[in-house]
Amino acid sequence: MKSHAKVVVIGGGVVGCSVLFHLARHGWTDVVLLERDELTSGSTWHAAGGMHTINGDPNVAKLQKYTINLYKEIEELSGQATGVHLTGGVLLAATEARLDWLRGVVAKGRYLGIELEEISPNEAAELMPLLDPKQFVGAVRNKEDGHLDPSGVTHAYAKAARKLGAEVERFTKVEDIVRRADGLWRVITNKGEVVAEHVVNAGGLWAREVGRMVGLELPVLAMEHMYLITEDMPEVAAWNAKTGTEIIHAVDFDGELYLRQERGGMLMGTYEKANKPWSEFQTPWNFGHELLAPDIDRIAPSLEVGFRHFPAFQNTGIKQIINGPFTFAPDGNPLVGPVRGLPGFWVACGVMAGFSQGGGVGLALSNWMIEGDPGADIWAMDVARYGDWATMAYTNAKVRENYSRRFSIRFPNEELPAGRPLKTTPVYELLSARGAQWGVAYGLEVPLWYAPEGVKDEFSWRRSSDFTQVAKEVATVRDGVGLSEISSFAKYEVTGEGAAAWLDRMLACKLPKPGRMTLAPMLKQDGRLIGDFTLANLGEDGWFLAGSGIAEQYHMRWFEKHLPDDGSVRIEALGQKLTGLSIAGPKARDVLAKATRSDVSNAAFPFMAIGRMDIGMAPCLVGRVSYTGDLGYEIWVAPEYQRAAFQTLTAAGEEFGIGLFGSRALNALRLEKNYGSWGREYRPIYGPLEAGLDRFVAYGKDADFIGKAAALAERKQGGKLRLRAFIVDADDADVIGDEPIWFGGAVRGWVTSGGYAHHSKKSVAVGYVPKEIADESDGFEIELLGKRHAARMQPAPLFDANFERMRA
């Protein structure tokens, strides 16, 4: 075994081998994979080997498509058969709600280049002869489904990597990992030590234990999972003889089952409701090629449905039940990327669909390690989407929920209950008493809307029980004054003598003067967005940044990576050390003036001003800005004062008819202002010109901000896309995001977000289209629940296009 390597990859499952292959293919060949046993000795060897392109997140779906297309290449490169059978498959709906969901999947497929086609139950039965069409209301055909040989694929990755110069050491167990003073990693094994610049944790079933070697508690948990294999079935033999083809894959969502042909019989697996975690606290190191005891009672309810939906199963015997463990992150997507605070330590774990996702994970990670950027929008699998709040118990609750809902529909207005409430702010009870319906962002409970007694969210693809109430909240803001909680923003304090110069380099905007704020896009080297903030200059107190709450860890990783070593700049993510309230609407100033002794007149405290003032007895930091696009204030307050500030504002607002509004009303308000948001409109694949944030980029400032050259080039060349708002001719449903935008009979763009703008009484969609058609006003259509709706471009904001209200 070599003593030094550029990269040590820990784990020889499908994921580690894919990472090794991708590193070598990308040109890093001084790389070694350490496997404590034979390759495939974790969850990989007993997988059912199914692969498919669909995923709830379109960016993950793209990587799944890449993975499936890769098998041919690694087979050719390695000479190792992968056993790929691209049979195609059917996705089955037994309810109308499921069919609506599937139509959304088909629509998404159109702009992802995934060929999906809605078919009738009878057409599905012609393709998949074992199903009873009477049990279903519709189906979708996917030509890119199939299965493979898990061991063959893993060895093909490893052999291809070796051919490119990478090394694989089997029976080499990593026992400890220590960071040296010079930043290199000592990877200590039962066979000696390798010193490496980078370490990749692809430990699969043991990823948690490998993480603990460097003091990391990764949010992953293994679950038991069962599939059965039947005896040979005459129906299968007859079909094979008649058509010369295998029986295609099927996913029966309402039965929570997946099926495929396995030799002369069938394989049927299920994500059972009565699921069971495996090795909740510590994965035993001596676990290897053994299986877990099957528990047919646990999967019996799903099998009952399966036997009804696929009657031929009633007449066949079960040859074998496989029960094996594999790992999940709380939301079921992989954990990939560099770990904040551990330079050179990377993770590629929590991959629950290694044969659909392993290639994409390897590609993204190797790009990231070599180029400094994953090369794709992989937010849905970025390890930074979790923070310290994703504890072991939280992970346990969430993984179990996610497993049991693997095939369940999640409606756009549906909030999942497991692991909640976890983080709450001091006004939580006060807001609950006023009817707050809670959602969650980065572990924190956030008020979505306020329900009158006895009214609750009814989960639906269409407008629901909250619609009239959200309309009232919007009217409260636009006609008078509303109060909302905004603690879920990420807040950062930047101090030190080098702070101004550092921010000037990190952010693309012009730095504001003391007592002023500005919008602050942050770019990567390639000129694309990596953040958008409100930056405030607090004078002697340093600088204050507010940004997307879900991206706190993501942004801190980026900030810390770029901090100077000399201690001249300090940045702290304030988390819930600082909570927030906001008041907005034409009467917001009247309320604030009554609540404080400070001068908040327009002359003394104009738009984009920021300063400290007491609200009642509570010391606060108040900024004159509002995401509602109205006259408004953001009020930052230490948690011990939040209740007092809330009560003062509520009392002061009484005579002005103050009312509470939640994030759904805020969405309706920002949509009619054409305001985008991080994670939707602003993502790391768009340039500032494309995203319409170029007006906040100080292209001419002296500072050589990160991404400047690329941003200038984008401005010169014009980029490819434009973010645009549309008015949709919708009836009882509004867009939610990821719907295709049609133009001239073809899909030309995609929706990033939308909803109903209650004040303007319009259904709004925001999304990207190619710049060539970005100035057309008509001729657009947006596909919603399987139907194309006419859409008109809305270049100016529907509300207050001249920005008079917020400056008044």
Residues forming contacts to ligand FAD in the complex (CB under 6 A) are: 10-16, 34-37, 41-44, 46-51, 173-174, 202-206, 210, 225, 227, 322, 324-326, 349, 351-356
Between residues 12 and 707, which has the closer beta carbon with respect to ligand FAD? 12
Residue 377 DSSP SS3: coil
Q: For ligand FAD, which is the closer residue by CB, 144 or 630?
A: 144
Nearer to ligand FAD among residue 406 and residue 478 (C-beta): 406
Least distance (Å) between residue 55 CB and ligand FAD: 12
Q: How far is the CB of 679 from ligand FAD (least distance, A)?
A: 26
Closest to ligand FAD by CB, 174 vs 481, is 174
- CB of residue 67 vs ligand FAD: minimum separation in angstroms? 9
Based on CB atoms, which residue is closest to ligand FAD, 303 or 351? 351
Q: Is 786 helix (H, G, I), strand (E, B) or coil?
A: coil
SS3 category, 253: coil
Q: Can you state the percent helix, strand and coil of the chain, rounding each to 5? A: 30, 30, 40
Residue nearer to ligand FAD on the CB measure, 252 or 552: 252
DSSP 8-state code for residue 283: -
Assign residue 656 a region: left if phi > 0, alpha if psi is -120 to 50, beta otherwise? alpha
CA-to-CA distance for 578 and 564, rounded, in angstroms?
26
Please report how close the Cβ of residue 474 comes to ligand FAD at its closest, in angstroms: 44
For residues 56 and 214, the answer to whether their CB atoms sit within 8 Å is no
Nearer to ligand FAD, 166 or 741 (CB): 166
Amino acid at 678: W
Residue that the structure tokens 């070593």 belong to: 565
Distance in Å, CB of 192 to ligand FAD, minimum: 13
Least distance CB 13 / ligand FAD (angstroms):
2
Strand stretches in 413-460, DSSP E: 436-441, 444-450
Q: How far is the CB of 288 from ligand FAD (least distance, A)?
A: 7
How far is it between the farthest Cα atoms of the chain?
A: 87
Q: Residue 708 and residue 802: Cα distance in Å, rounded? A: 30
CB of 34 to ligand FAD, least distance (A): 5
Which amino acid is it at 202?
A
Q: Please give the distance of CA 681 from its chain centroid, rounded to a whole number.
A: 14
Minimum distance of ligand FAD from residue 549's CB (angstroms): 29
Q: State the minimum distance, in angstroms, from the CB of residue 308 to ligand FAD.
A: 23
Q: How far is the CB of 355 from ligand FAD (least distance, A)?
A: 3
For ligand FAD, which is the closer residue by CB, 168 or 448?
168
| Min CB(48)–ligand FAD separation in Å | 3
CB of 63 to ligand FAD, least distance (A): 13
Of 325 and 360, which has the nearer Cβ to ligand FAD? 325
Q: Is the backbone peptide bond immediately before 688 cis, with ω within 30 degrees of 0?
A: no
Whether residue 204 contacts residue 211, with contact meaning beta carbons closer than 8 Å, is answered with no
| CA 632 – CA 244 distance, rounded (Å) | 69
> In this structure, what DSSP letter does residue 512 have?
P
* Nearer CB in complex with ligand FAD: 34/595: 34
| The pairing of beta strand 257-262 with beta strand 265-270 | antiparallel
- Which residue number, 94 or 365, has a Cβ lying nearer to ligand FAD? 365
**Residue 263 burial class via C-beta count within 10 angstroms: exposed 0-12, middle 13-18, buried 19 and up:** exposed
Nearer to ligand FAD, 43 or 135 (CB): 43
Tell me which DSSP letter residue 281 carries.
S
Query: What is the nearest approach in angstroms of ligand FAD to the Cβ of residue 90?
Result: 16
Q: What is the DSSP string of 74-138?
A: HHHHH------B---EEEEESSHHHHHHHHHHHHHHHHHT--EEEE-HHHHHHHSTTS-GGG-SE
Quick one: which of 443, 485, 437 has its CA closest to 650? 485
Burial (CB < 10 A; 0-12, 13-18, 19+), residue 134, is: exposed
Write down the least CB distance from residue 347 to ligand FAD, Å.
Answer: 10
Instruction: Pick the closer one to ligand FAD by CB: 47 or 259.
Output: 47
Of the two residues 148 and 725, which places its CB atom closer to ligand FAD in the complex?
148
User: Do the beta carbons of residue 84 and residue 71 sit within 8 Å?
Assistant: yes
Q: Please, are residues 742 and 748 in contact by the beta-carbon 8 Å criterion?
A: yes
Hey, what are 628's tokens?
Answer: 């509602």
Q: Is 409 exposed, middle or buried (0-12, 13-18, 19+ CB in 10 A)?
A: middle
Alpha helices in 412-466 (DSSP H): 428-433
Closer by beta carbon to ligand FAD, 82 or else 487: 82
Backbone angles phi, psi at 269, to 5 degrees: -120, 160
Least Cα distance to 424 among 413, 410, 438, 411 occurs for 438
- Minimum separation from the CB atom of position 147 to ligand FAD (A): 7
Between residues 59 and 518, which has the closer beta carbon with respect to ligand FAD?
59
Burial category of 316 from C-beta neighbours within 10 Å (exposed 0-12, middle 13-18, buried 19 and up): middle
Smallest Cα–Cα separation from 345: which of 563, 187, 550, 566? 187
Could you count the other beta carbons within 10 Å of the beta carbon of residue 572?
12
Residue type, 328: F
CA distance 774 to 770: 6
